[in-house]
Amino acid sequence: MRRLASIIFIGLLLLGIWQGLISFFALPAYLVPTPGAVLGAAVERWDVLAGHAALTVGAAIVGLLISTLFASAFALLFTVSRHASQTAMPVLLVFRSAPVAAVAPLITLFMGRGIGTSVVVVTIVSFFPLMINLQRGLAAADRSAIELMHVYGAGLWKQMAIVRIPYAMPYFFTGLRIAGASAVLGTMLSEWITGARGLGKLILDSGEMRETGMLWAAVLTSVLIGLLVFALTSWGETYTTRWRQAGSSLKE
């Protein structure tokens, strides 16, 4: 309750600062709307806002799931095979260095102007932080535990399942927090470029129509989605790493 009260207080404080700056500098409504105008636009056209937000979130989730599968596969491969890591990592670095804004139009040629392009863009921008953090986590497993598993005759994949993967979970969720924010931004970028329905297109359309209330409502919705992703990944990390916290308590 104390944490919730702090969040509500900070939110109200930010709204007060927003309103105060508008009044102090006499900013015109077509440039920066008041919080009340933004809330009114969101309530009046909540169905439009919710529909576009659902498309953006859906594309981000699908792309994030695909990138997680690929990142997990490559991280496991690179952990068990140094030769594969040395061979494939330079190719992945070159692929990651390509600007997404330049690659998105090429993806559109193959995938069209639908949700498929957004999913591919999200997969590209989310893959690398997930893979790097997973690979670091798999390599950071307790050496004593690995040696103990080896003494008991455990194979490579049993060592992975019992020791390396559990130890990699905090690293995985760190990468997931980064990738989650990148997924939302990547989806909106794809929508800006391709014109597919979503928060990105809603922001562009609202800006062209000078509907600043709706524009700010869409921007704030994307911010709230990013905060929600951060909160969910933090909760997931806490839930899946309870065993480490219990182990630390026992040592103390």
Position 252 pLDDT exceeds 70: no
What letter represents residue 56's amino acid? T
Query: pLDDT tens-digit profile of 132-167?
Result: 999 888 888 777 877 777 777 777 778 777 888 888
> 53-238 has which CATH code?
1.10.3720.10
Name residue, tokens 């399942």: 161
In angstroms, how far is CA 79 from the centroid of its own chain? 24
By the 10 Å C-beta count (0-12 exposed, 13-18 middle, 19+ buried), 216 is classed as buried
Between the alpha carbon of residue 169 and those of residues 125, 162, 176, 235, the distances in Å are: 20, 12, 10, 13
Query: pLDDT tens-digit profile of 161-214?
Result: 788 888 888 889 888 888 888 888 888 888 888 878 889 889 988 888 888 889
Q: What is the DSSP letter of 210?
A: T
DSSP conformation letters of 109-156: HHH-SSHHHHHHHHHHHHHHHHHHHHHHHHHTS-HHHHHHHHHTT--H
